[in-house]
Amino acid sequence: MSMILDLETIRRVLPAIDLLKIIEEGFVAFSEGRVVVPPVGELVFNDPPGEAHIKYGYIKNDEFYVIKIASGFYHNPRIGLPSSQGMMLLFSQKTGVCEAVLLDQGLLTDHRTAAAGAVAARLLAPQEVRRVGILGAGTQARLQLQHLRAVTSCRRALIWVPDPDETEPFLQFFAESDLDVEIARSPSEVARACNLIVTTTPSTQALLQASGVRRGTHITAVGSDTSDKIELAPAILASADVVVVDSLAQSESRGEVFRAVQSGDLEREKVVELGAALADPSLARTDDDQITVCDLTGVAVQDIQIAKAVFAEVRKRDDERLS
């Protein structure tokens, strides 16, 4: 019988998991060709605006395969609901039996995405991060800022908030933390003041321009996970010294790299896969004066890794309780 893991159970075990470690291991396995990941399934809605993604796959010679359904409906907060929803299904790779249903309501997708941002920053950010910049103020913006604390000692953050109504809740969320959080008037102000920037919006218009990005800056772009979204002007990728993607295959149809190649500003041969750069850091930043960009569209191996880890932690606790 399938184990049903509700949201509270998942919340309870998540802090015990080293997310950065398992996500990094997943990216390396993916770039080494040890992961089977079919193309993303996608539904896009207009009224209200939203989308649903189906991502699935398996690591070769592993115990499980995973199917993940995740959605983002951006007006949900107006009716008291989180914008992210979803679930993950964990199946035996040997029998096809569904071992667990993880009713995470998008929580695991949010955390595995934020963990990937921290992995990218640890690899690509300059040695001295003077200020962290975040574009966006939703769940992902908060989690990116939280997970970055594990990879940088910088505690100063500048946030551009697209919806002014989100400003006060965002500031209140970090009011008791060790972070010094201030609000920017524009994305360009973030670019001027910060040398580690994370973009987390569903924008369909470029928010950052090449002329505003300073030398030595690293940008992790998270929001552009479909073909019509864009947060970075293609000229930013054209002028970057290092451009990294989580999946070369997915970058052919979505994300910042897709848009920059489509516009003719970027040659695909310049792009490096994140797992390859993790395995060989010489492919990543080699100088603190370089501009680096990491384009994250979200890969099923992240879902595989986090679903497996949660299931293993729950089983471990159940075994300890019964012993």
How much of the chain, in percent, has pLDDT values that exceed 90? 87
Confidence band (pLDDT; 50, 70, 90) for 235? very high
Looking at residue 1, its pLDDT comes to: 76
| Cβ–Cβ under 8 Å, residues 277 and 249 | no
Looking at residue 320, its pLDDT comes to: 87
Answer whether residue 323 shows pLDDT above 80: no
Coil, helix or strand at residue 218? strand
Looking at residue 279, its pLDDT comes to: 98
Confidence band (pLDDT; 50, 70, 90) for 157? very high
Looking at residue 29, its pLDDT comes to: 98
Average pLDDT (28-53) is 94
Looking at residue 225, its pLDDT comes to: 86
Answer whether residue 268 shows pLDDT above 80: yes
Answer whether residue 176 shows pLDDT above 80: yes
Summary mean pLDDT of the chain:
95
Average pLDDT (288-309) is 97
The residues, ordered by sequence, that sit 6+ positions from 59 with a Cβ below 8 Å of its Cβ are 26, 29, 34, 35, 36, 301, 304
Confidence band (pLDDT; 50, 70, 90) for 182? very high
Q: How close are the terminal C-alpha atoms of the chain, in Å?
A: 21
Report domain extents, the chain.
3-108+301-322, 126-298
**55 alpha carbon, distance to own chain's centre:** 14
* 3-108+301-322 and 126-298 agree in CATH topology: no
Average pLDDT (18-45) is 96
Confidence band (pLDDT; 50, 70, 90) for 252? very high
Confidence band (pLDDT; 50, 70, 90) for 141? very high
Looking at residue 146, its pLDDT comes to: 95
Residue 189 and residue 139: Cα distance in Å, rounded?
A: 22
Q: What is the pTM (predicted TM-score) of this model? A: 0.93
Average pLDDT (219-240) is 95
Average pLDDT (243-255) is 96
pLDDT digits (tens, 9 = 90+) for 74-131: 888 888 888 889 999 999 999 999 999 999 999 999 999 999 999 999 999 999 999 9
| Cβ–Cβ under 8 Å, residues 124 and 284 | yes
Helices (H) and strands (E) in the chain, counts: 10, 15
Which of these CATH numbers, 3.30.1780.10, 3.30.450.40, 3.90.850.10, 3.30.420.40, describes 3-108+301-322? 3.30.1780.10
CATH hierarchy code of domain 126-298: 3.40.50.720
Confidence band (pLDDT; 50, 70, 90) for 28? very high
Looking at residue 226, its pLDDT comes to: 86
How much of the chain, in percent, has pLDDT values that exceed 70? 100
pLDDT digits (tens, 9 = 90+) for 191-227: 999 999 999 999 999 999 999 999 999 999 999 988 8
Q: According to DSSP H, which parts of 174-268 are helical?
A: 187-193, 234-239, 255-262
Answer whether residue 9 shows pLDDT above 90: yes
Strands in 218-221's sheet, in edge-to-edge order, are 180-184, 156-160, 132-135, 196-199, 218-221, 292-295, 242-245, 271-273
The residues, ordered by sequence, that sit 6+ positions from 127 with a Cβ below 8 Å of its Cβ are 288
Looking at residue 75, its pLDDT comes to: 86
pLDDT digits (tens, 9 = 90+) for 271-283: 999 999 999 999 9
Looking at residue 132, its pLDDT comes to: 98
